[in-house]
Amino acid sequence: MKHYFVADAHLGSRLFDDNDAKIAHFIEWLSMATAEESEIYLLGDIFDFWFEFAHAIPPGFDLLLNTLRQKTEQGTRIHFFCGNHDQWTYGHLHNYCGLIIHKKGDFIDIEGKRFYLAHGHGLGEKRRSTLILNRIFENSITQWLFRHLMIPHLGYAFGYRWSARNRKKHDSITNTNRHHNYYEAHTSDSNAFQVEWAKQFTTQHPDTDYIVMGHLHQEINMRLSTGCQLLILDEFYQNYGYAIYDGTYLWPENF
Ligand SMILES: [Mn+2]
């Protein structure tokens, strides 16, 4: 049995003018990944802004949600790890689509190996503004207020605008270094937080065989000193990065 990992499709982003094509491509990927017996791990920011209001879900995803439902009904286990852009699910993705929801990073045993899976936001984060924002977004009272008092139409307009601004800021940081060896170029950069975090984490949890994450939108594939393989996935809106684990090897691919 094969295991497929994907993150950062950012479906619905206002920065794309071909969202329907992007969603269709993601559905094609799901079909490919489930063609034979498999387990799927969606590692966050699959949606550019996912927020379930009391009586509304984000529009435009019917085909994808129905495909996910169909796959889980056919018996494929599909995990959904919340990213910083799609952490606001209050039951729909589980109840309707049958997804196994992980609000935070989790250890999962796969084929007898110990995986730590997470989206990756906030791990090792040192920037004060980001930490404060993360805390507001994860706060249950703020979430309740937004969910019950905000008019969904305005809520989605706000969410997609926040998300697009966030993306532009991120891209201006990473694009300048796109063609260099990522890790060497970023060891002193804020984006190296996740790698530094993983090194620390594996010394505290030396039995970890693999760490797979997203969030950086750039591939990092390295062996840590404990022997653990760290794989940070490339995004899935331009390079269409994903990864496969076949019980022996874990490797990145592009779709
Ligand atoms: Mn992210």
Give the distance (Å) from ligand 1 centre to CA of residue 1: 28
Distance between CA atoms of residues 120 and 232, nearest Å: 9
Task: Name the residue ranges covered by the structural domains of the chain.
Answer: 2-103+125-180+233-254
pLDDT of residue 234: 96
Give the distance (Å) from ligand 1 centre to CA of residue 84: 5
Q: Give strand pairing partners of 14.
A: none
Give the distance (Å) from ligand 1 centre to CA of residue 82: 9
Give the distance (Å) from ligand 1 centre to CA of residue 120: 7
Give the distance (Å) from ligand 1 centre to CA of residue 215: 4
Distance between CA atoms of residues 51 and 162, nearest Å: 13
Mean pLDDT to the nearest integer, 75-93:
95
| pLDDT tens, residue by residue, 104-139 | 999 999 999 999 999 999 888 878 888 888 888 888
| pLDDT tens, residue by residue, 24-44 | 999 999 999 999 999 999 999
Distance between CA atoms of residues 124 and 197, nearest Å: 5
Give this prediction's pTM: 0.89
Query: 183 versus 84: which is more confidently predicted?
Result: 84
Mean pLDDT to the nearest integer, 12-33:
95
Using a CB cutoff of 5 Å, list residues around ligand 1, an ion.
45, 83-84, 121, 215
Closest Cα to residue 70, out of 103, 32, 99, 104?
99
Check: CB of residue 119 under 8 Å from CB of residue 128: no
Give the distance (Å) from ligand 1 centre to CA of residue 244: 20
**99 phi, psi to nearest 5 deg:** -75, 150
Mean pLDDT to the nearest integer, 184-206:
77
DSSP string, 128-168: HHHHHHHHHHH-HHHHHHHHHHS-HHHHHHHHHHHHHHHHH
Instruction: List for the chain the helix, strand, coil content (%; round to 5).
Output: 40, 20, 40
